Amino acid sequence: MKFTICHDTSKKTLAIPRAVLQLSGLEDAERLALHAGHGCVVLTRQEGTARERLEAIRLLHDLNVGMVVRLALDSRAASGMPCKRASEVFRTYDAEFLDMLEHCGVDLFGLGALLAREEDAE
């Protein structure tokens, strides 16, 4: 299930709605693990059961598939855009990861153009 949280950036904390904790089965958890990467956050029980880990993997897999499909569609739409810096924008990703994306239908030239455009906008 997906929820939208409106974040007041003037505050230093962000509250997780109780309904989210209840639906996830984490409302009674005393210790939670917050995993953070650039642009994403995942919250799990600190010491999850095998079933909880399995369900987390399934949720992340479903989310991953949806994100890769969206990335493939966006990269194909941008495949005609010029990108002279493709190798530069991919420098932080290993070849195996890029091969996986390409195998999933991501157009690396289009993705390179999108990433370069995002970097230029920053």
Total residues found in the chain within this entry: 122
Average pLDDT over residues 45-74: 94
H or E segment to which residue 36 belongs: strand 32-37
Cα(122)–Cα(107) distance, rounded to whole angstroms? 23
Q: In terms of pLDDT, which residue wins out, 82 or 106?
A: 106
| pLDDT tens sequence across 87-109 | 677 888 999 999 999 999 999 98
Question: In the chain, pLDDT over 70 holds for what percent of residues?
Answer: 95
And the tokens for 94? 């290993």
pLDDT level of residue 85 (50, 70, 90 thresholds): low
